[in-house]
Structure 1
Amino acid sequence: MKVLTLLIVLIFVFIGCKNSKDENNNKLSESYNDISQEHPGKKLMEAYCYACHDVTKTEDNRIAPPMIAIKRRYISTGTSKKTFINDMQRWLKNPNEKDAKMFGAVKRFGVMQKLLYPEDVIEQIADYMFDNAIEEPEWFDAHYKQMRGNMKRYQ
């Protein structure tokens, strides 16, 4: 009887440990998939855009607005992903003061230089920006609220 009880206990322990290992392996596998399937637009944005639109710069040491500012200015209620991507394509092909949507940024930093990025690179960056949270500098939220209070509505 004692042997049977011990055998049953060992079977439950073995099954419990096996299920626990499977759950841990599944969690590790899911984490790996999240990392390995990172949106290519994020890496492209970091490589192509952060040279000027870096989130680690202080407000006073910037040479261009952060990417979150661009996203917030270009995407409003009703903006489709296609419209956003087209707006990014159009701006990067021909940045000029007349077509600028970020008047304060142009006033402060000037019009950005024309960059000859492939259309598919811009599309992937814009696709990532549209669907994902963009990293914000620590100072950005307070700055955004202040500027929104001072901004005329052009929409």
Structure 2
Amino acid sequence: MKTFIPLFLLVFLVGCQDSKKSSYAVGSNNQEEHPGKVLMERQCYVCHSPSANHEQRLAPPMIAVKKHYVAANTTKEEFAEDIQNWFDNQTEDNARMYGAVRRFGVMPKLIIAKEDLNQISDYIFDNDIEQPEWFEEHYNKEIRKGFLMRNGKKI
């Protein structure tokens, strides 16, 4: 019996170390955050912060980016390709967020590993993105004015 207990503990500990976490959740002690969320918060929120007020922000919030790039029929692969295309060719002619370019200029060229950008795109596409308190009212006002574009077309 004495040899059974240490053997059981050894199997239990080894089994726990080999288990892999297969899903991501916010605020759960048993699961990790999605790596794309962590990367987005670290690399994108510097300028695209959901907590910046409307007047003092450096760039549009990430929810605005999502709303300009994701339509009802957009696939995750198309979204990832569009984001990669923007990072590869950040010019005024390649922009989809014309109001943001007018207000903030073209986003400065950043070097983000393709794998990291894919993780960020994956997270943005599949999840609700935090938005500033003022965003919904602003977004609806821009739609009414006819200023918002998605995929090169007014929405």
The amino acid of 1:69's aligned partner reads A
Matched, 1:55 2:50: yes
Aligned equivalents of 1:67, 1:101: Cα separation in 2: 14
User: Is 1:144 matched with 2:139?
Assistant: yes
1:37-83 deviation per Cα after TM superposition (whole angstroms, max 9, x unaligned): 22100000000001100111100001100000000010001100000
- Deviation of 1:93 after TM superposition, in Å, equals 1.9
Distance 1:95 1:47 in 2: 21
Q: Counterpart of 1:125 in 2: which secondary structure?
A: helix
Does structure 2 retain, via aligned residues, the 8 Å contact 1:59–1:139?
A: yes
Identity %: 47
Separation (CA, whole Å) in 2 of partners of 1:99 and 1:31: 39
Deviation at 1:149, TM superposition (A): 1.0
CA distance in 2, matches of 1:70, 1:142: 16
TM-score by length of 1: 0.76
Shift of 1:109: 0.5
Equivalent position amino acid for 2:120 in 1? I
Q: Note the residue ranges of structure 1 that are not aligned, 5 or more in a row.
A: 1-29
Structure 1 or 2: more helix by fraction: 1
Q: How far is the alpha carbon of 1:31 from its aligned partner?
A: 3.7
Shift of 1:32: 2.1
1:32 maps to 2:35 = no
Residue 44 of structure 1: which of 39, 61, 64 is its match? 39
Aligned partners of 1:92, 1:43: CA distance in 2, in Å? 19
Q: Distance in 2 between matches of 1:104 and 1:149?
A: 14
Structure 2 length normalisation: TM-score?
Answer: 0.76
Alignment correspondent of 1:106: 101
Moved over 3 A (4+): none
TM-superposed CA distance for 1:150, in Å, is 1.2
> What is the aligned partner in structure 1 of residue 24 from structure 2?
none
Query: What letter is aligned with 2:121?
Result: A
Q: Distance in 2 between matches of 1:92 and 1:136?
A: 22
The equivalent residue for 1:84 is 79
Q: CA separation in 1, counterparts of 2:32 and 2:28?
A: 10
Shift of 1:146: 0.3
Residues 9-48 of structure 1: CA deviation (Å, up to 9, x unaligned): xxxxxxxxxxxxxxxxxxxxx9422xx3221000000000
Aligned match of 1:118: 113
Report the alpha carbon displacement of residue 94 of structure 1 after superposing the two structures with TM. 1.8
